[in-house]
Chains A and B, each alone.
Chain A
Amino acid sequence: MEKEERKKKVKEEAKEKEGRLTGPRVIGRRDVLKGFATVPFLGAFAGAWARKRHIERELKNNLLEVVHLTAEPADIVPVAINSKPLRLGIIGFGLRGRHLLRATGHAEPQWIDDAKASAASNRLDTSYEDFMNQEDLNVVINGVCDVFNIHAEEAVEAGANIFRQGKGGKMGTVPKRYRTYKELIASPEIDAVIIATPDHWHAPMAIEAARAGKHVYLEKPMTWNVPETYELVKAVKENNIIFQLGHQGRQTESYIKAKEAIQKNILGKITLVEVCTNRNDPNGAWVYPIHPKAGPDNIDWAQFLGQAPFHEFSLERFFRWRCWWDYSTGLNGDLLTHEYDSINQIMSIGIPDSVVASGGIYFFKDGRTVPDVQQVVMEFTKHDLTLLYSASLASDRQRGKVIMGHDAHMEISDRLVINADPQSTAYSEKIKQGVIDPVVPIYSFTPGKKGIDGVASATEQYFASRGLLYTYRKGRRVDTTYLHMREWIHCIRAHIQPSCNIDQGFEEAISAHMATIALREGRRVYWDREKEIII
């Protein structure tokens, strides 16, 4: 009996259980509680999230009190397309000349083909896309001149390539090839000239162009020796031409921000600036390739030599001219000038009061006369400031461009990072309060990045410093050489002087010459401000 009852009970229980699982589902209070049991976690998350955002905002606001930079690059004035096209001539179509002509919108058909192929095999190479996106500057290449026939012919092809096509594409009017720069400058078909020749030709050509009333875009360094520097300044000013020196770094966004930071005294008193241009490859050491078809029959050697001392024909000297003082200004003209000009742009330091320099040919013992390792120390007594330049052509170790102040230091590349100094007077309170941590930047700026703040994450900084961030997403990249060329062309049309004008050029040239004299004569060189002469 008991057994049966027990069986019945088990059956009923099973039935009941079954019913519970298979019967109509009723949502009870218990279900609601269990169903929403984890919702409070979401509430806790929201609370924690809000608090974190609040702390970050506070920190950012506190930092903004210290560093608030608003400067933006000047708006680019649209090109006056309806105006008459500006008629350009180019002298020198080597590595740099090609780049400059591309900045005007004219590339050799072969370059177009190569860039296209490169973009197809490497998506990160945007040079073709960037070039095709470059705005039409309403200019026409009317004349070209190069003492090497093959380069001159390539310049003609590039000048005619107004539709930006590859080999076999549709071409425009073919520019005239001039045998000498004098003929090109004298031509009534030319309004303005781009000069991208070896250093020893810069001033003679620019002076000639200025005297002929032609506007000039001149590659850096401005001059090869001191006397022609004064002569060029005089020619440019007397003839009232628009002169742009080729320091395209003038267009770099981070330099514009850096200048504002200095003006707002964020760094405190600045006493030391360190710049460096280390490179470590043959091309960087001026061992440029020698054209396989080049020879005395297709190079006008006499015209190449110009004011340089006589030397027998030499392919090496022709293509690797930067290695010899006979045509070059060495590291001072090639690389120090860019660094100096960027600091002059940011801090308006002018010409140094004195300069010492040293160096030697320590790695490239290939017959060159120009040192491959060199240090320059410039003193600016009026500013209580030393500028230290150092370079090796046999090491890629970068030491950055660093401006050191009592309250903070700033490292500049295409990015800009400012860190407070642990011993700063101005920020001591904020450091004590924990608002400023000297290890964390008080300001960081990455071009192309929308938001500007001091609390960029470590990851972000890590990637950005290696050029991996914001390369692709934030619109297209723009070539600074293009911007610099564009500024010059705009200034010609508007009859105003560009950012790297003859006064900036004079300071660049004199500072670089002081370094070269100090190096070659092994002495401390001074600038007499009153007489405006190097002593």
Chain B
Amino acid sequence: MTKNHHLREYSTFQALMLVLLRVSIGWHFLYEGLVKVFNPDWSSFGYLMDSKGIFADVFKYMATHKDILQAVDLLNIWGLVLIGAGMILGLFTRLSVSCGILLLSLYYLSHPPLAGLQYIFPQEGSYLIVNKTLIEIIALCLLLAFPNSHIAGIDRFFQKKNK
């Protein structure tokens, strides 16, 4: 059985839910990105400087090197926008979702919600090891496991012929 053949086995409800999950995560990424695009003063400096955990030094290194920081800001802002738009439209979805996982993993690693770590940025909830970033990462992994842009999404037009 081919992969795509298998896809067609989703029930309507399953397909609908998968697409909704994809679109809503895409919406979240797109908004986070656009907010930063329209705020000329936004910088990841403060967030990176507040990093904790075993990779903290790496993130602080990024923050304190002007050129790296500029690149990080640019990649983050436009990464969020493109990933978001891609996921909503179902365009280059595998790539978008994979990049999203990478980006969120960096956020998670810079601010791991481990016992004993305190952050300047106030959190809106209470987390231990599992936080919303981690759940969003897992949701994106789920989208990789259950692709759906071939059902509803522009990727449908690029669907390759199967042998």
Contact = CB atoms under 8 A, between A and B. Distances in A.
A470 B163 contact: no
Interface in A82-127: 123-124
Contacts of A474: 41
B56 to A, nearest CB: 14
A32 to B, nearest CB: 8
B45 A38 contact: no
B49 A41 contact: no
Interface of A: 21-22, 25, 27, 31, 34-39, 41-42, 45, 49, 53, 123-124, 449-451, 458-460, 462-463, 466, 468-474
A449 B41 contact: yes
A451 B40 contact: yes
B45 A473 contact: yes
Given A38-B23, A41-B23, A474-B41, 13 more contacts: A21-B5, A25-B161, A35-B153, A37-B19, A37-B90, A38-B22, A38-B152, A38-B153, A460-B41, A463-B120, A468-B120, A471-B45, A472-B64
A42 B64 CA distance: 36
A25 B159 CA distance: 9
A185 to B, nearest CB: 45
A34 B152 contact: yes
B98 interface: no
12 contacts: A21-B5, A21-B161, A21-B162, A27-B157, A35-B153, A35-B156, A38-B89, A41-B27, A42-B89, A458-B122, A463-B120, A472-B45
Interface residues of B, number: 43
B45 A49 contact: no
B85 interface: yes
B88 A468 contact: no
Contacts of B66: 472-473
A449 B161 CA distance: 54
Interface string B100-116: 00000000000000000
A526 to B, nearest CB: 47
Given A41-B23, A42-B88, A451 B157 contact: no
A45 B50 contact: no
B65 interface: yes
B46 interface: yes
A21 B4 CA distance: 9
A450 B40 contact: yes
B31 A468 contact: no
B11 interface: no
Interface string B122-163: 100000000000000000000000000001111011010111
Contact of B43 (A37, A42, A49, A470): A470
B10 to A, nearest CB: 13
Nearest to B41: A449
Nearest to A24: B161
Given A42-B85, A468-B120, A450 B41 contact: yes
A21 B5 CA distance: 8
Contacts of B26: 41
Nearest to A470: B41
B2 interface: yes
B13 interface: no
B77 interface: no
A335 B30 CA distance: 50
Interface string B30-74: 110010001111010110011000000000010111100100000
A468 B50 contact: yes
Contacts of B46: 459, 463, 468-469
Given A21-B162, A38-B89, A42-B85, A31 B64 contact: no
Interface string B1-32: 01011000000000000010011001100110
A37 B45 contact: no
A252 B45 CA distance: 24
B163 A38 contact: no
Contact of B121 (A22, A36, A462, A472): A462
A34 B154 CA distance: 8
A275 B95 CA distance: 56
Contacts of A451: 39-41
Nearest to B63: A472
Nearest to A23: B161
A512 B43 CA distance: 43
A35 B5 contact: no
Contacts of A458: 122
